[in-house]
């Protein structure tokens, strides 16, 4: 999709819905990664959508200038009833420049928030990005977050964030925004990956189907603490593992570790590769796949790690085809996150769906989704867990992961999204809507 022409996309072959009467306006200034996945999913499944996007490049410039661009390229149309956008867009600027859009039901979706985005030095934090998100919340009708952690961290940080203003500070912003807020998890489409899975994963999958309630846990009730203050447990005891015949290669094949995240500093690749170097120094046997999107500036640690860990590498770099990406996840044993900045974690849940044993920080959104046995508190704990799995890879291969990924599926969440975007669409008379390129 190019940015030279505003493009309108129509969901499916909806013969009953006139092309001239769109009702849901989907706007995405950073059309890539999870932002792209969500927009595409809504466009394909919600009747009456039209989509306007900009490519996923130069994030900082998109946040600064996309509103002005969209104000000039989104055609006027009296049938628009809902405006849905990610928080990258400065919604305040857009509706000020386009009063016809101000009357719409305005929904702002937070994939992340800039108030707690990790920076190396606080003085490097650009006040404008977080400030824009606060302003956008004030003009939005509904503010949607992909996790409770995302919502709570944003709302609780507004007051301290505004103290950066030297004088005449605004007050009571959290109280104004909070009533508009809700949590609606990012919806994932989990394909059937059975044909990509090795034998031992298929055996586990069959057991999960046979006893789904025994092996799946999802902490949806936030009033109950899923992670009580106890000593972090070791790997699940053998009595809870799968029994029966296993592939004799379970113990012989090296542990396959996958890191499927964006190649940026907020995902803390330095800690990940430092941990793997310690495993190498201990002469532990393992295989490595490093996936994920790359952007203009790639941290230098990736080229250094590629050279130092070359003999362990199975796959390296972004997989252009989704099938190739899923194949690597299915072949891997353990998926690791070292993130300093994560509000949902699409890649981790996709890897769990593909049968990987997850290891995540005991921070950010992860305790909201993953039971305590998959969480580590320090780099040393992560290294210790990986050492154990390198020595006994069958512990990961026989393990039944206790995370209910179906709770985050589009099938489970679609009705809530449809209600969110629900609108009564009036009949549009011919010629009322401006022409736009239709796909």
pLDDT tens-digit map of 161-181: 999 999 999 999 999 999 999
pLDDT computed for residue 94 by the predictor: 98
Nearest to 333 by CA among 226, 231, 249, 240: 249
Burial state string for 236-267 with b = 16 or more CB within 10 A and e = fewer than 16: beeeebbeeebeeebeebebbbbbbbbbbbeb
210-238 pLDDT per residue, tens: 665 544 444 444 433 333 333 333 444 33
Residue 67 near residue 60 (C-beta atoms within 8 A): no
Residue 375 near residue 367 (C-beta atoms within 8 A): yes
Q: Which two tokens stand for residue 120?
A: 């190396």
Beta bridge partners of 105: 82
pLDDT computed for residue 98 by the predictor: 98
As a whole number, mean pLDDT of residues 113-125 equals 70
Phi, psi of 181 (to 5 degrees): -90, 150
pTM beyond 0.75: the answer is yes
381-435 pLDDT per residue, tens: 999 999 999 999 999 999 999 998 999 999 999 999 999 998 643 343 333 444 3
Going from the C-alpha of 406 to that of each of 191, 222, 349, 372, 432, the distances in angstroms are: 11, 18, 10, 19, 42
309-344 pLDDT per residue, tens: 999 999 999 999 999 999 999 999 999 999 999 999
- Supply the mean pLDDT for the chain: 85
pLDDT computed for residue 74 by the predictor: 98
pLDDT computed for residue 126 by the predictor: 81
Cβ-Cβ contacts under 8 Å for 347 (sequence gap 6 or more): 260, 261, 291, 292, 335, 337
As a whole number, mean pLDDT of residues 109-124 equals 78
Burial state string for 17-51 with b = 16 or more CB within 10 A and e = fewer than 16: beebbbbbbbbbbbbbebbbbbbbbbbebbbbbbb
Going from the C-alpha of 272 to that of each of 226, 266, 294, 387, 396, the distances in angstroms are: 26, 12, 17, 13, 19
45-100 pLDDT per residue, tens: 999 999 999 999 888 999 999 999 999 999 999 999 999 999 999 999 999 999 99
């Amino acid at each position: 999709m190019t940015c030279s022409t505003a493009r309108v996309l129509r969901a499916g072959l909806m013969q009953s819905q006139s092309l001239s009467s769109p009702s849901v306006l989907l706007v995405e200034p950073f059309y890539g990664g999870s932002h792209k996945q969500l927009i595409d999913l809504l466009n394909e499944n919600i009747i009456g959508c039209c989509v306007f996007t900009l490519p996923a490049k130069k994030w900082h410039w998109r946040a600064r200038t996309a509103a002005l661009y969209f104000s000039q390229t989104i055609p006027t149309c009296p049938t628009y009833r809902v405006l849905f956008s990610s928080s990258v867009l400065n919604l305040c600027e857009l509706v000020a420049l386009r009063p016809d859009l101000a009357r719409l039901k305005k929904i702002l979706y937070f994939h992340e928030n800039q108030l707690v985005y990790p920076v190396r030095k606080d003085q490097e934090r650009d006040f404008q990005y977080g400030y824009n998100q606060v302003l956008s919340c004030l003009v939005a009708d509904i503010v949607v977050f992909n996790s409770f952690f995302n919502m709570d961290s944003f709302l609780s940080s507004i007051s301290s964030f505004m103290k950066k203003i030297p004088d005449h500070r605004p007050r009571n912003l959290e109280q104004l925004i909070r009533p508009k807020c809700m949590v609606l998890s990012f919806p994932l489409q989990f394909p059937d990956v059975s044909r990509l899975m090795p034998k031992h994963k298929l055996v586990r999958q069959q057991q999960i189907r046979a006893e789904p309630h025994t092996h799946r846990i999802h902490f949806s009730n936030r009033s109950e603490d899923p992670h009580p203050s106890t000593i972090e447990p070791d790997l699940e005891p053998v009595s809870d593992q799968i029994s029966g015949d296993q592939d004799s290669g379970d113990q012989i094949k090296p542990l396959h570790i996958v890191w499927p995240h964006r190649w940026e500093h907020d995902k803390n690749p330095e800690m990940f590769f430092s941990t793997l170097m310690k495993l190498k120094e201990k002469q532990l046997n393992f295989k490595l796949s490093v996936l994920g999107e790359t952007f203009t500036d790639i941290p230098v640690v990736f080229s250094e790690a590629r050279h130092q860990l070359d003999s362990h590498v199975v796959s390296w770099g972004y997989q252009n085809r989704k099938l190739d990406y899923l194949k690597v996840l299915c072949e891997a044993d353990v998926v690791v996150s070292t993130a300093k900045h994560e509000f949902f974690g699409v890649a981790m849940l996709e890897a769990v769906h593909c049968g990987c044993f997850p290891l995540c920080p005991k921070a950010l959104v992860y305790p909201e989704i993953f039971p305590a046995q998959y969480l580590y508190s320090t780099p040393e704990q992560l290294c210790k867990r990986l050492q154990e799995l390198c020595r006994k890879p069958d512990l990961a291969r026989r393990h039944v992961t206790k995370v209910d990924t179906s709770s985050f599926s589009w099938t489970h969440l679609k009705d809530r999204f449809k209600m969110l975007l629900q609108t009564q669409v009036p009949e549009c008379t011919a010629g009322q809507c401006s022409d736009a390129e239709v796909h």
